[in-house]
Structure 1
Amino acid sequence: MSEDQRERPTVLVVDDEEDLRDIMRRMLERRGYATLVAGDADQATAVCQDHPGPIAVLVTDLGLPGVSGGEMADRCRELRPDMGVVYISGLPKDIAVSKGLIPQDALLVKKPFTSDLLLEALRLVLAEAANT
């Protein structure tokens, strides 16, 4: 692994809306993150299986076709238990938790969000991973 890869955490962005996925990818790359993208749960699972390097954080929309982002994140974390997760949703966190979509301790960024909010969530997840 190159020194550059070690210094740049890799983020997997999963959203079924291509425009949103692309906006998040470009924003993260401008801020120094390496990115991978997937449009659905199957693509995300394949990336987690096939990507040769570490994936530091999964950023996923809760509303994916066919499966919730929470279920998909669980599948991906079975493959990569050290990967942090940031959920994105139009739902408030308390409703997402009460519907069983995400655990109580999950980090959820509510849509619409600013790049600063998403970056802060990533920093929190990366800091938590560094302390475990």
Structure 2
Amino acid sequence: MVPIFFPAIAAEKKEEKVPMIKVIPDTGTVLVVEDEEIVMNVNRAMLERLGYRVLEAKTGKETIDIIKNFEGDIDIALLDVKLPDMEGGMIYPLIKKTRPNTKVIVCSGYSMDGPAQEILYAGAEDFIQKPFSFGSLSAKLKTVL
């Protein structure tokens, strides 16, 4: 037997190209009203990456406590339509009464019909369908602000 040796050649490295989203940090405070922990965590991560300060409320009661007691401005509230203790339609007027300058974006895994539409008719600034992407959230926030 005769050994045969082949020269080692480095394989060409192929890199997968992922589209980049340009992140321009914003400032401001966003109140996320969401009862699902996973959704809350994802929303918080996206908002913090965008440069926002995030306040979290998992129930209607927590939302009311924050809007009454938080000592800074709340620029936007991302308001889920369905919460364990209260409907978003009951929370919306309380937000606007206590903090009339806070913009409200209604969030729902359902269509814009029904409860979400009622909140929009009452004066909420916009609607975003869950689940939403980083890019669509960023665009929606810029539109509303």
- State the TM-score, normalizing by the size of structure 1: 0.81
Task: Give the unaligned 5+ runs of structure 2.
Answer: 1-25
The equivalent position to 2:75 in structure 1, one of 48, 56, 60, is 56
Q: Which residue of 2 aligns with 1:34?
A: 53
Shift in Å at residue 105 of structure 1? 5.9
Which structure's relative contact order is higher, taking Cα pairs within 8 Å and 6+ residues apart? 1
After the TM superposition, which residues 1-132 of structure 1 pair with which residues of structure 2 at under 5 Å, given as runs? 8-96=27-115, 100-103=118-121, 106=124, 107-126=126-145
Structure 1 position 94, deviation (Å): 3.5
Answer yes or no: is the 8 Å Cα contact 2:34–2:58 preserved in 1: yes
Contact 2:109 2:129 in 1 (8 A): yes
CA RMSD of superposed structures (Å): 1.9
TM-score, normalised via structure 2 length: 0.74
Question: Which stretch of the first structure deviates more once superposed, 100-109 or 13-22?
Answer: 100-109
| Contact 2:30–2:75 (8 Å) recurs in 1 | yes
Q: Secondary structure at the match of 1:93?
A: coil
On the 8 A contact 1:28/1:35 being kept in 2, the answer is yes
Asked whether the 8 Å contact 1:89–1:109 carries over to 2, the reply is yes
From the two aligned structures, give the one with the greater helix fraction. Answer: 1
Match for residue 20 of structure 2? Answer: none
Gaps of 5+ in 1: 1-6, 127-132
CA distance in 2 between counterparts of 1:39 and 1:104 reads 22
Is the CA contact 2:108–2:116 (under 8 Å) kept in the aligned structure 1?
no
User: One-letter code of the match for 2:79?
Assistant: T
1:2-35 per-residue CA deviation (whole Å, 9 max, x = no partner) reads: xxxxx72100001011111111011101111111
% identical equivalent positions: 32
Shift of 1:50: 1.0
Change (3 A) 1:97 1:109: closer
